[in-house]
Amino acid sequence: MAIKIFEQEKQFHLYNSKISYVIGECRDGEIGQLYFGKRINENQIIYSYQGVAGRLDCDVKVYDENYSKEMACLEYPAFGNGDYRNSAYEVRQLNGSRVTNLVYQGYEVYEGKKPIPGLPASYVNTNSEAITLEIICVDDVAKLEVRLFYTIWENYSIITRHVSFKNIGEDEFKLTKALSCCIDLPDHDYDWIQFDGAWARERYPHVRPLDEGVTAVESMRGHSSSNFNPFVILKRKDTNEFQGEAIGVNLVYSGNFLAQAEVDTFDKLRFTMGINPRWFVWPLKKEEVFETPEVIISYTKNGLNDLSQNIHGFMNNNLVRGPYKNKPRPILLNNWEATEMKFDEESILKIAKKGKDAGVELFVLDDGWFGKRDDDFAGLGDWFVNTNKLPDGITGLAKKINELGLDFGLWIEPEMVNPDSDLYRAHPDWVLAAPDRRRTLGRHQMVLDYSKPEVVDNIYNQLYEVISKANISYIKWDMNRSITECFSQGLPAEQQGMIYHKYILGMYSLYERLIEKFPHILFESCASGGARFDAGMLYYAPQAWCSDDTDGHERVKIQYGTSYGYPISSVGAHVSASPNMQTGRSMTIDDRANIAYFGTFGYELDLNKVSDEEFERVKEQVKFMKEYRSLFQYGTFYRLQSPFENNISGIMVVSEDKKQAIAVIYNTLRTPNIGRENIKLQGLDETLVYSVDGKEKLYGDYLMERGIGFIDADEPWYKSAGDFQSRMFILKA
């Protein structure tokens, strides 16, 4: 990994063993995108920035007849001086002008990487892991300094980027758009993959070819959302899971975002991503700085599995923090689907005790333990224990759970308030609400105004009281509604455009304070299931509740989609009751577990209510997961066959030394009399012989070229099997 600098040409070639990213000054003093892709020779000086104009009737030529800005591949383009595509940023100056023109001034290079103040970001464990380049550009009229940050990583095919804006003049100006990146690619022969959905069906992959015009996904909900995830892939048409070129971009941010691909009529592709510019206005006074969130740009020439593995490794090593980083995650039992808010200490201890008998390690008390919280109409905002339910408080309950031999975890939803709460009665001005307008409720609750430090302080102090007095080792941080009426009461008009982003900064600051004070706590983020599953959250919470949909079959799809952009160690996955709460579908306890293993694993039901036979299986499952969880959570993960396109799908994990692997094949609907069906495995050592389930002995190359037979109509198990079956294969070299 290095950055080769051509001083005279003002060119910068960032490279590691797999990728090259070359940028340099173009004719207008702007920084152009010269090459991004597979590693090329670092001595190559590139003279073409694609800006050579053809004959265009209404074209604007900058400098001379041969150069058109709108045909150039640019790194951080403005609108208003010859480039008609979507810009990366916009600045409204005091005189009303929005024209800007950034001119290259210089650069800085250093080992390692600096944090981004107040924002989550990837980090180096040692300086030798990465090199950072800062390109400094100035608009001398607007008195704007922009720094483009690029970090190239030694071990991953990844470039991380972000941007800072500084007012270097006297007059205030307003940033009205400040995206984190622009990637101009010289052709548009790509498919776009987005990960969309809704509550209970998050992150389904959808692929469509890019063509002239704009393709975009966004959130304006105040959180990243289950509707559109802030992760997208651009892939070549012939790229599949196992071969071909692709670029993945994760935004390290949890609020409103925009990801957009614009194909112009000259066959070029401009990809931009960052904070959604809608409703974004950020005033910058003299000397003030604004930092954008970071993007993680990953590249592969070897298919989508390779792209995901690259992202998984990077997030596990350079984004997730704390004592659970790269550590097996505790097997937990959560009471939500078992009791919802109807519980008392006795019923909780009974559920926990049974969990202990099954071998789980952590009991998590979900919603309903605080304030007057007997249903979802009251209590949020009042973070003191409901002693009617828990007479000895959280302190007492945690102690009793610990005495059972379990760790104790607690649910909170700190960003919300019910109108029926002491907090709201005392501070009706602490919610986001527009003057003289209805305060829209969602799940009977409002959103606290986290742009106000005093609100964050109050919640911190309340939570501190609870957490500091009990032995809590895990917190599930929930967030159950999107923002409406985004207005901060009492704040001047000119600062209202800052609120969506300031809210996120306030939320991050609370996380940071709690982590600093209680570094031993494992956080799991949650937002009505998986409505805030993003790279920003993973910086604070190493795992995220993937979905409220715990149906085994639905989870195969949701977790398959999630795996494209996020590591298996981060996927909150539990076995719940059958028939399932969300779908009413019945599945065997083993089929439900066969997808939950590919995540943090746990249970979300009252184990006192399962049959003796099932309970024995639960004990076996917990034992099995304890033995294999490192493999599941940190092994090399492969998508073998998609459940979105096939009746039979499969995923697998392989250990680093390739001596162990586990594959699970899922059969959605049973089709009779279809003969034998093989699934080809991946990632094995061709030369090793693997025992499959301790029986067959097969070479790695055979297993990868021919595959394992999942369905054999002659097998007795299959004859009796119904729909939504799965089958696990354990391979040992």
Kind and range of the H or E run holding 623: helix 612-634
Strand pairing category for 416-417 and 407-412: unpaired
Among 25, 366, 534, 549, binds ligand DGJ (CB under 6 A): 366
Joined tokens for residue 258 = 């925009």
Distance of closest approach, residue 674 Cβ to ligand DGJ, in angstroms: 38
Count the neighbouring beta carbons within 10 Å of the beta carbon of residue 417: 27
CA–CA gap between residue 308 and residue 248 (Å, rounded) = 8
Catalytic entry in 264, 366, 478, 549: 478
Q: Does 526 bind ligand DGJ (CB under 6 A)?
A: yes
Cα–Cα distances in angstroms (integers) from residue 561 to residues 201, 566, 686, in the given order: 10, 9, 28
Nearest approach in angstroms of CB 532 to ligand DGJ is: 10
Does 545 participate in binding ligand DGJ (rule CB under 6 A)?
yes
**617 — phi, psi (to 5°)?**
-65, -40
Q: What's the closest the beta carbon of residue 334 comes to ligand DGJ, in angstroms?
A: 7
Q: Which residue of 83, 218, 382, 548 would you call a contact of ligand DGJ, by CB under 6 A?
A: 548
Of 112-120, 205-213, 522-530, 645-653, the segment contacting ligand DGJ by CB under 6 A is 522-530
Phi, psi of 604 (to 5 degrees): -140, 55
Query: Judged by CB, which is closer to ligand DGJ: 411, or 710?
Result: 411
Residue selected from 478, 524, 551, 591 as contacting ligand DGJ according to rule CB under 6 A: 478
Is position 336 an interface residue for ligand DGJ (rule: CB under 6 A)?
A: yes
Rounded to whole angstroms, the Cα distance separating 329 from 599 reads: 9
Q: Which residue type does 360 have?
A: V
| Residue 528 interacting with ligand DGJ (CB under 6 A) | yes
The region of 83-91, 524-532, 612-620, 657-665 touching ligand DGJ under the rule CB under 6 A is 524-532
Q: Which residues sit opposite 3 in a β-bridge?
A: 14
667 vs 715: CA distance, rounded Å: 15
CB of 368 to ligand DGJ, least distance (A): 8
User: Is residue 478 among the annotated active site residues?
Assistant: yes
With CB under 6 A as the contact rule, which of the stretches 54-62, 88-96, 450-458, 525-533 interacts with ligand DGJ?
525-533
For tokens 């509707």, what's the residue? 227
Minimum distance from CB of 339 to ligand DGJ (Å)?
11
What CA dihedral angle connects 56, 62, 65 and 67, to 10 degrees? -80
Say how many Å lie between the first and final Cα of the chain, rounded. Answer: 34
For ligand DGJ, which residue has the nearest CB?
367
Residues 378-437 close enough to bind ligand DGJ by CB under 6 A: 411
Any catalytic annotation for residue 548? yes
CA distance 514 to 672: 55
Tokens (6 digits) for 346? 């006795």
540 DSSP 8-state letter = H
Token pair of 688 as six digits: 């090793």
480 is an interface residue for ligand DGJ by CB under 6 A: yes
Strand residue runs (E) in 48-112: 89-92, 103-111
Q: Does 367 bind ligand DGJ (CB under 6 A)?
A: yes
Q: In angstroms, what is the minimal distance from the CB of 403 to ligand DGJ?
A: 25
The interface region with ligand DGJ, picked from 128-136, 451-459, 526-534, 647-655 by CB under 6 A, is 526-534
Q: Residue 156's closest CA among 325, 262, 275, 14?
A: 14
Handedness of CA 478, 480, 483, 487 (dihedral sign): negative
Of the pair 85, 481, the CB lying nearest ligand DGJ is at: 481
User: Closer to ligand DGJ at the Cβ: 30 or 366?
Assistant: 366
Could you tell me the smallest distance in angstroms from the CB atom of residue 360 to ligand DGJ? Answer: 17
Choice between 46 and 341, CB closer to ligand DGJ: 341
Q: Is the dihedral of CA 550, 553, 555, 558 positive or negative?
A: negative
Selected catalytic residue, list 548, 551, 591, 606: 548
Toward ligand DGJ, which CB reaches closer, 89 or 363? 363
Backbone φ and ψ for 495, nearest 5 degrees, come out as -105, 0
Q: C-beta of 223: minimal distance to ligand DGJ in Å?
A: 13
Active site residues: 478, 548
* Footprint on this chain of ligand DGJ (rule: CB under 6 A): 336, 366-367, 411, 478, 480, 526, 528-529, 545, 548
